[in-house]
Amino acid sequence: MYMDVSGEPDDRAGGTEPDQVDVAVYSWVLEHHRLEPAAIAADLGLDPDRAAASVRRLSALRLVYPDPQDPTAGYAVAPEAAMARLAAPVEARIRREQEELARGQAQLVGFFPHYQRGGRVAGAGEGVEVISSLQEVRAALDRASDSCRSEVLASQPGGGSRVPEAMEEALGRDRALLARGVRMRTLYHHTARFNGPSQAYVEAASPLGGEYRTVHELFGRIIVFDRELAFIPASDGSWGAVAIRQESLVAYLCEIFEQSWSCARPFSAATADGLEQVSQEIDRTILRLLAAGLKDETIARRLGMSLRTARRHIADIMGQLDAESRFQAGVAAARTGLLGE
């Protein structure tokens, strides 16, 4: 609520409309070149305290100021000049803070070479960095996603282990990438076709432009951005990762991906291909891996299934072939042609 010159309430509202008492006092000072609250109050018919309060407000806004030689004299300045005077200390403070920020950033830049030397894989040279914590890995992936320009390649083993929450988070990131026109291609294990969250994710992302295929075996987990930056898991079994920018290494990983992609099949729900067909394909792959002498843990990892599920498949296969050992199972499978393509 505002006050008019007489001091009565003024019901006009407006966030930027000046107080009418202040307008009257400002105009009076502009005309008379004096800054005496008592004289202002007498001429404008204001209470002296109200006139003094108005002078204080106008002074705070830098609209009026006293003559340093004569305290009773005063001047009113243009609003543009008052704006400049009002902004000057704020701008000075901002400049000081910017300078302080720049100094801090300059100091931090000096630590980059030491961090890179400390995080580099021994003997790998430039362009390879170990990221030790899960939080740092997520931050690095977010930065890479935000700056990605044209393409993302991903190999995501473990098709049956995805949870809905993780898939929802991934879908949000992928939507942003696809909306920018980034091409996305992702490889999964065939077992992902049995996983409900994976099916829902592919069903939602495919219309946006995402491309998804599945294979029996995957070479491991990788994510490559613009064929310039690749992430692979740390070899120590931790939640860490290795970020690779070395051109030849990234190109090699991309070539491995392309070879698997060319042999992969478009993602589909298991029921679309027929449960029996998919199951037979998985069994043939397990037989081939058994014949190669691989352990249960390795087979499970290569096929993207849990160890318990892999052992159940192995037991079923050996029962069907009436084999008491893995060697017998391999021989029986070869005789019946189950190890063929």
Q: Which domains does the chain have, with CATH numbers?
A: 2-77 (1.10.10.10), 112-271 (3.30.870.10), 274-336 (1.10.10.10)
Give the chain's mean pLDDT: 79
**Structure confidence by residue, pLDDT tens digits, 143-166:** 999 999 999 999 988 755 555 666
Most confident of 79-83, 177-181, 317-321, 326-330: 177-181
Spatial CB neighbours of 330, under 8 Å, sequence gap ≥ 6? 287, 290, 291, 339
SS (H, E, C) 199-264: HHHHHHHHHHCCEEEEECCCCCCEEEECCCEEEEECCCCCCCEEEECCHHHHHHHHHHHHHHHHHC
pLDDT recorded at residue 9: 42
Q: What is the mean pLDDT of residues 227-236?
A: 90
Q: Are 60 and 73 in contact (CB under 8 A)?
A: no
How many Å apart are CA 69 and CA 67, to the nearest integer? 5
Query: Do residues 17 and 63 make contact, with C-beta atoms less than 8 angstroms apart?
Result: no
Contact 207, 193 (CB under 8 A): no
CA 33 to chain centre: 60
Any idea which of 102-116, 161-175, 259-273 has the lowest mean pLDDT?
A: 102-116
Residue 13 scores a pLDDT above 50: no
Mean pLDDT for the stretch of residues 268-297: 71
- Quickly count: other Cβ atoms within 10 Å of residue 278's Cβ: 20
- Pick the most confident of 37-41, 198-202, 229-233: 229-233
Whether 316 has a pLDDT exceeding 60, the answer reads yes
R_g (Cα) of the chain, nearest Å: 37
Taking only the tens place, the pLDDT of each residue in 61-78 is 888 888 888 877 888 888
Higher pLDDT among residues 251 and 172, named by residue:
251
Q: What is the mean pLDDT of residues 241-265?
A: 90
Least confident of 209-218, 226-235, 271-280: 271-280
pLDDT of residue 14: 44
Buried b (16+ CB within 10 A) or exposed e, 215-250: bbbbeeebbbbebbbbbbbeeeeeebbbbbeeeebb
Least confident of 114-128, 160-174, 175-189, 295-309: 114-128
- Tens of pLDDT, residues 326-341: 777 767 776 666 655 4
CA distance linking residue 280 with residue 112, whole number of Å: 53
- CA-based end-to-end distance of the chain: 86
pLDDT digits (tens, 9 = 90+) for 179-214: 999 999 999 888 788 777 788 888 888 999 999 998
Across 287-308, average pLDDT? 79
Higher-pLDDT residue of 124, 33: 33
pLDDT at 90: 84
**% the chain with pLDDT above 90:** 21
Q: Give the pLDDT band (50/70/90) at residue 112.
A: low
Q: How far is it, in rounded angstroms, from Cα 193 to Cα 292?
A: 26
Calculated CA dihedral for residues 108, 109, 115, 121, nearest 10 degrees: 160
pLDDT at 291 over 80: no
* pLDDT of 128: 86
Residue 239: pLDDT above 50? yes
How large a percentage of the chain has pLDDT more than 70? 79
pLDDT at 278: 63
Q: What's residue 171's pLDDT?
A: 82
Token pair for 90: 């704020």
- pLDDT tier at 10, thresholds 50, 70, 90: very low
Between 298 and 49, name the one with better pLDDT: 49
